[in-house]
Amino acid sequence: MEGEDWQAVADALNVRMATLRIGQQALAEVSGVSVATLRQLQHGAQRRRVQNATLTAVARALDWPHDHLIRVLLQDQDQELEQDAAEHAPPASAPGSVGTDHQILAVLLRIEQRLTDLAERIMPGIGSTGEGANDNGPDPAE
């Protein structure tokens, strides 16, 4: 999928395995993921789709939060969405709420992007054209 950084996943995985001094076989046993899949993840070249459940199992086995490798994989998309959120954020009503407002907006933009991606998978063309999205009924000008 576009925007996925498998090399970043490989780099993070290799550093963590070296830090914890754990090999492929031991990680495979702890995570329940095959050595072949781990090898593929460590090289960053994805010839087939690796499921989120696989990334979650590996992350947990390496004492990371369950979504760590998924976040690493999608890091560039999240950064772009957070930048977009910061640029379009409304002025904060209170000085202490600026960070919170940006965080909320960033999360909402990520959700919106993922929903658009899902809509595109289900019905090609709907996510890119916006057709059907934000349909608030008939246009009062019509």
- Domain extents in the chain: 6-73, 75-129
Cβ within 8 Å of residue 68, ≥6 positions away: 12, 59
Q: What pLDDT does residue 131 have?
A: 46
Is the pLDDT score of 10 beyond 90?
Answer: yes
CATH C-level class of 6-73: mainly alpha
**Nearest-angstrom CA–CA distance, 22 and 38:** 12
Contact 113, 106 (CB under 8 A): no
**Nearest-angstrom CA–CA distance, 94 and 76:** 30
Higher pLDDT, 97 or 9: 9
Between 11-15, 33-37, 118-122, the lowest mean confidence (pLDDT) is in 118-122
CA angle 57, 18, 24 (to 5 degrees): 50
Between 8-12, 73-77, 103-107, 126-130, the lowest mean confidence (pLDDT) is in 126-130
Q: What pLDDT does residue 49 have?
A: 79
User: What pTM did the predictor assign?
Assistant: 0.53
Higher pLDDT, 51 or 114: 51
What does pLDDT average to over the chain? 76
Q: What is the mean pLDDT of residues 72-84?
A: 63
Structure tokens at 107: 């999360």
**Nearest-angstrom CA–CA distance, 30 and 28:** 6
